[in-house]
Amino acid sequence: MLGGVSDLIELRDRMRAFTDERDWAKFHDPKSLVLALVGEVGELAELFQWLPADQAVERVGTDPLRRRVGEELADVLAYLVRLADVLDIDLAEVARAKLADSALRFPAHDVRGEAPEKG
Amino acid sequence: MLGGVSDLIELRDRMRAFTDERDWAKFHDPKSLVLALVGEVGELAELFQWLPADQAVERVGTDPLRRRVGEELADVLAYLVRLADVLDIDLAEVARAKLADSALRFPAHDVRGEAPEKG
Amino acid sequence: MLGGVSDLIELRDRMRAFTDERDWAKFHDPKSLVLALVGEVGELAELFQWLPADQAVERVGTDPLRRRVGEELADVLAYLVRLADVLDIDLAEVARAKLADSALRFPAHDVRGEAPEKG
Amino acid sequence: MLGGVSDLIELRDRMRAFTDERDWAKFHDPKSLVLALVGEVGELAELFQWLPADQAVERVGTDPLRRRVGEELADVLAYLVRLADVLDIDLAEVARAKLADSALRFPAHDVRGEAPEKG
């Protein structure tokens, strides 16, 4: 990051301090952190599961649902940042590299308006 | 970010441009994005599932596994950032708020060295 | 199963034999199996993520998508059955008990037509 | 199933009745059910996340954890069965077919003792 402090690095450092202050690093092996990430993604999914697809943005636009979704998004990010940290992977760097790679793999003129096939 | 640059905002803006250039915004309702996030978390889990828990950090320390884990971490972050964007939620802000809240809920002297109960 | 045959027990036994023939039991600790289950759920999610919510049943009604969804449902079930087996939990029994419990927790006349709150 | 009633069919029928009695079928489009499945898998993951990998079987061997894991396994199975039902897919049939296919794809003598590569 030119001329500033990365908020992902700031969050990584805060998570690291939070973990060390509680002596929780011993629980943070990668497989355990992936399971914790899955747990938070599951809580996020539960907030959306019964919402009509075309009303989800509106429903999440007001509290208390907006606050709860924000908390779950935060929890997912926190464990993702923590997992990258224990693996010594620069999350911002890999995110930029992957986005550049995706731009090459999905040329706008080829895929315009079409959902990319998965699996 | 006081006096800094947000790489989460940069990533949000890049994802937004990437999506608009491909006319993919129409696919990005929240429930679809949560499913896409789940798909990427699943790919991340598959890279770790059969690794011995105590060797995961070492195994992911070298390519090709290191590169592939980085790509999956990037994909999870990309969809998380995109989901927050369509919900107009500031990911960095909710992450800071949640971490402050967790510090209050889990006082270091109370939980030191003990895994927090879930569910 | 009163007077019946359990296909969950049949599947458990087939999975057990499949695993033993390949000497894969050593990989099947519970956390690894939960990660494998997550991986398969992620593949299932990827098949649905970009489908319009109101067209999903129709789109999955024909091959090749129908076949692929069937395969992912099968993979999720296989790991779920395998996880229950290594934990020595009778999946059919806990499923019946949980459904009976849910019937008490959600009386039809109280919740009729309303999505149950989660989290 | 020869000479008996399939417990997966029994569970499907009980889930169908449970849903209809509550007029919840309108919430059970496939994408919503996949999200519900993800939510339950997340709750399952949370019960395992901080357990030492080599102590998970023992820790889950006694209540209250054993009971809670059983409930989450049941919830995952219930939504999986419900999802297959709304898609008119025979879960026992696809499970048998997939296992037969896996036996061909992973010949015991070729993969014995080696974790299969994913992704």
Q: Which residues of C76-105 are buried (b: 16+ CB within 10 A; e: fewer)?
A: bbbbbbbbbbbbebbbbebbbebbeebeee
pLDDT in tens, A49-106: 999 999 999 999 999 999 999 999 999 999 999 999 999 999 999 999 999 999 999 9
Beta carbons of A34 and C34 less than 8 Å apart: no
Compute the distance between CA of residue A106 and CA of residue A117 in angstroms, rounded to an integer: 11
- DSSP character at residue D62: S
The pLDDT of residue B99: 93
Tokens describing residue B87: 């919900």
Compute the distance between CA of residue B50 and CA of residue C106 in angstroms, rounded to an integer: 39
The pLDDT of residue A115: 85
Q: Which of residues 76-105 of C touch D (CB under 8 A)?
A: 76-78, 80, 83-84, 86-89, 91-92, 94-99, 101-103
HSE-CB at A61 with a 13 A cutoff on CA atoms is 7
Closest Cβ–Cβ partner in D14, D37, D101 for C99: D14
Compute the distance between CA of residue A36 and CA of residue A40 in angstroms, rounded to an integer: 6
Residue A64, preceding peptide bond in cis (omega within 30° of 0): yes
Beta carbons of B38 and C42 less than 8 Å apart: yes
Average pLDDT, chain D: 93
Residues in contact with D45: Cβ distance below 8 Å, sequence separation at least 6, in sequence order: A35, A36, A38, A39, A42, C34, C38
Res. C32: pLDDT tops 90: yes
Tokens describing residue C93: 């029994």
The pLDDT of residue B115: 85
pLDDT per position in chain B (119 positions), as tens?
A: 444 568 999 999 999 999 999 999 999 999 999 999 999 999 999 999 999 999 999 999 999 999 999 999 999 999 999 999 999 999 999 999 999 999 999 999 999 999 876 64
pLDDT in tens, D26-67: 999 999 999 999 999 999 999 999 999 999 999 999 999 999
pLDDT in tens, C93-105: 999 999 999 999 9
The pLDDT of residue A69: 98
H helical segments located in A1-119:
7-21, 30-48, 56-59, 65-86, 91-105, 108-111
- DSSP character at residue A67: H
The helix-helix angle for C91-105 and C65-86 (nearest 10°) equals 100
| Residues in chain D, overall count | 119
B112 touches chain C (CB under 8 A): no
The pLDDT of residue C116: 77
Compute the distance between CA of residue A34 and CA of residue B50 in angstroms, rounded to an integer: 13
At D3, is the pLDDT very low, low, confident or very high (cuts 50, 70, 90)?
A: very low
HSE-CB at A48 with a 13 A cutoff on CA atoms is 33
List the Cα angle B38/D103/B45 in 5-degree steps. Answer: 20
At D115, is the pLDDT very low, low, confident or very high (cuts 50, 70, 90)?
A: confident
B31 touches chain C (CB under 8 A): yes
CA distance B82 to chain D (A): 18
- Chain C partners of A115 at a C-beta cutoff of 8 Å? 50
Beta carbons of A7 and B1 less than 8 Å apart: yes
Q: Please report the sign of the dihedral spanned by the C-alpha atoms of residue A59, residue A63, residue A67, residue A68.
A: negative
At A15, is the pLDDT very low, low, confident or very high (cuts 50, 70, 90)?
A: very high
Taking residues D12-16, what's their average pLDDT?
96
Res. D19: pLDDT tops 60: yes
**Domains of chain B, start order:** 5-106 (1.10.287.1080)
State the Cα torsion A95-A84-A117-D100 to the nearest 10°: 160
Residue appearing with tokens 């794809």: D105
Closest Cβ–Cβ partner in D21, D61, D78 for C108: D21
Chains in contact with B, where contact means 3 or more Cβ–Cβ distances below 8 Å, are: A, C, D
B119 touches chain D (CB under 8 A): yes
Res. C53: pLDDT tops 90: yes
Q: What is the separation, in whole angstroms, between the first and last Cα of chain C?
A: 33
**φ and ψ at D106, to 5 degrees?**
-120, 75
A34 touches chain C (CB under 8 A): yes
Res. A1: pLDDT tops 50: no
Beta carbons of A47 and C118 less than 8 Å apart: yes
